Chain A
Amino acid sequence: MTLPLIVYRSLRQHALSTIITAGSIALACGLLMCVWMVKTQSQSAFTQTTTGFDAVLGARGSKLQLVLNAIFHLEASPGNLAYSDYEAIRRHPMVKAALPIAVGDNLRGYRLVGTVPELFTAVEYAPGKKFMILPGGRGFSADAKEAVAGSFAAARLGLKVGDKFRPFHGLAFDPKSEHSDDFVVSGVLAPTNTPVDRVVWIPLRGLQMMSGHDAKAATDVSAVLVQLRAPAAGFMLDTLYNKQGNRLTFAYPVGAIIAELFGKIAWFDQVLTLVAYLVALVAAGSVLASIYNSMSARQRDLAILRALGARRRTIFGAVVAEAMGIGALGAAVGFAVYLGLFMGVAGVIRAQTGVVLDVWAGHAVLWMCPLGMIMLCSLGGVVPALKAYRTPVAETLAPAS
């Protein structure tokens, strides 16, 4: 009981500096874990989010822009392609399914995407998972002015089956650019934890024929989402559209294109990680400084303990254990900081992209970081422990007679 008692009492006696130091460690630990987890989870989530499609066919331009626009419903469309191009790829023998989408309108900031009803019946957005419409609703009819709302968009917009709305022109919400077409919500999708949740889906023709849209482009589509029969088909179509042709862009494979994006912004991760490491080092330094600075005040206690028979190594161990205790306290609170930060970041990512990060997912960093922090703090405790180790008992216990 000796060592735990000495550590506990010392932490209690210096409660304020203990709390402040443990707080800085908690911040460092939480920040490190959050940066790491957001980095790894978002990379994995974004590269695995294909919503069931292997490739995207679109207007000539950036593959990344095409994928971000068609799969993640971010960015502007790089342009349109003719309906005949959609028909051509749909009939290709190596293509299992091809679904057209059209973008260009929104409902109070949430994208309206035109597509065909087969999206909700024929597509598995993840292995073994098909889109489900919540009870009381149904999919839209291809020729009706109906809509199926993604779960997140429905919740944010307060949409339910039977509600009527008028779309707004453009991808950004402008109250002055309201269309005169009335749509009725026919169904709400069950959550999929994909970007689909942030979209209000309407029939392709509904979007193409919207009042105010260019009649000449009424049959154009923004992109075609493609499922292939075999991976080899992707490389064949890549050659066909990207190398031999010069009108269209075939973005394949979707995951690799997003991975390229993460490769391009890897420096940002590195900067964040470096900042987190520096914060951790500063926190460990604060442990050293706070214990070292209080050493003068503690020397009498240490000398008394020595006079009572405590060995030098016991005193050394007590100070290192105290530093370790502060580290452990900080690491424990660090989990709360991590959860808070991660939930905040995950909330923003979900709201902006529809991609869901799992706050409870396990990862080695969740034990390595606290453990590393505790070890770093213990190291920080070595310097004051050496000072304690050298405490001159007789001089400190003066007065002498």
Chain B
Amino acid sequence: MLAVTALLKTFLSPEGERVEIVRVAQFALAAGEQRALRGESGSGKTTFLHLIAGILAADSGRVILNGVEMTALAEAQRDRLRADQLGYIFQTFNLLQGYTVLENVLLGMSFGPRGADRAHAKAVLDRVGLSHRLNHFPRQLSTGQQQRVAVARALANRPKLVLADEPTGNLDRKHAHAALALIREVCREQGAALLLVSHDEEVLAQFEQREDFAAINRPAKEVTP
């Protein structure tokens, strides 16, 4: 379902030197699989997810998502593929503050080929227990409820792959546990694969399949002037 080969991403440092952030030789994820990557802050795991999602363009290498080579696509095509095949859950939820709960989910759907389906959006929100908060704005919700909106938005478009970047980083233990269970459950129900990155051992412990991001990401230490 997801295959990453020889992926390289560098950034230009303020000193004008090119620094490698991501260098992943091989990485694969099967359809419906749920896997967690352990990594410390600044280890490049968000960049790795951004590369998979096509938010960032790689310097070289290949990302093949559901048979389509993401890295060979133009930016607009990557945007379309992301809207169609991917769901993204951010650590800070990244909800649109000026939009209602329902609108946040509908917008997430509207860029995909199926378009905004109000009935389905409501059903997904009902699934995450927010059917009574459809017309609330994010600021009117608790942190846990905001996280559930983010989950609903990521899954509303029936994605093949869900990327979760420290999805419980802003929640307390109790809510983190519930949120993670919900993400995994809904992904399983929809047959979506889940790739989660976190530095939280308690979160990681819940995954049968987990590995160190440092084991797959081996950027060169030296910089290229």
Contacts and interface: CB of A to CB of B under 8 A. Distances in A.
A399 B80 CA distance: 24
A393 interface: yes
Interface residues of A, number: 27
A371 B115 CA distance: 31
Given A304-B96, A311-B76, A401 B83 contact: no
Contact of A401 (B55, B91, B95): B91
A309 B45 contact: no
B52 to A, nearest CB: 12
A9 B83 CA distance: 21
A6 B76 CA distance: 19
Given A401-B41, A401-B46, A307 B76 contact: no
Chain B residues touching A, range = 35 or more
Contacts, number: 93
B165 A401 contact: yes
Interface in A1-57: 1-2, 5-6, 9-10, 12-13
A354 B75 CA distance: 67
Contacts of B53: 307
B42 A401 contact: yes
Interface in B11-53: 39-43, 45-47, 50, 53
Interface string B77-102: 00110111010101110111111000
Interface string A296-327: 00001100111111111110000000000000
Given A307-B53, A307-B88, A9 B99 contact: yes
Contacts of A301: 96-98
A314 B46 contact: no
Contacts of B95: 304
A172 interface: no
Interface of chain A: mostly helix, strand, loop or mixed: helix
Interface string A275-313: 000000000000000000000000011001111111111
A300 B96 CA distance: 9
B133 interface: no
Interface stretch (B105-113, B139-147, B187-195): B105-113
Nearest to A309: B83
Nearest to A303: B94
B103 A314 contact: no
A6 B107 CA distance: 9
A257 B168 CA distance: 84
A400 interface: yes
Most chain A beta-carbon contacts within 10 A, residue among B42, B110, B166: B110
Contacts of A348: none
Contacts of A300: 94
B75 A309 contact: no
Contacts of A312: 75-76, 79
Given A307-B55, A309-B84, A397-B90, A5 B96 contact: no
Given A311-B80, A313-B76, A397-B94, A9 B103 contact: yes
Contacts of B108: 308-309
A147 B47 CA distance: 94
Contacts of A304: 94-96
Contact of B98 (A12, A397, A400): A12
B128 interface: no
A300 B92 CA distance: 12
B184 interface: no
Given A5-B103, A401-B46, A314 B111 contact: yes
Contacts of A13: 98
A394 interface: yes
Nearest to B98: A13
A313 B91 CA distance: 27
Contacts of B153: 308
A311 B81 CA distance: 11
A335 to B, nearest CB: 29
Contacts of B106: 1, 5
B125 interface: no
B111 A2 contact: yes
Contacts of B99: 5, 9
Nearest to B43: A401
Contacts of B91: 399, 401
A13 B96 CA distance: 11
B199 A401 contact: yes
A306 B46 contact: no
A313 B165 CA distance: 27
Interface string A85-126: 000000000000000000000000000000000000000000
Interface of B: 39-43, 45-47, 50, 53, 55-56, 75-76, 79-80, 82-84, 86, 88, 90-92, 94-99, 103, 106-108, 110-112, 116, 153, 165-166, 197, 199
Given A301-B98, A307-B53, 5 more contacts: A300-B94, A310-B83, A400-B46, A401-B40, A401-B41
27 contacts: A1-B116, A5-B103, A6-B107, A13-B98, A301-B97, A304-B95, A304-B96, A305-B96, A306-B55, A307-B53, A307-B90, A308-B82, A308-B107, A308-B153, A309-B86, A309-B112, A311-B79, A311-B80, A393-B50, A394-B56, A397-B55, A397-B90, A397-B94, A400-B47, A401-B43, A401-B45, A401-B197
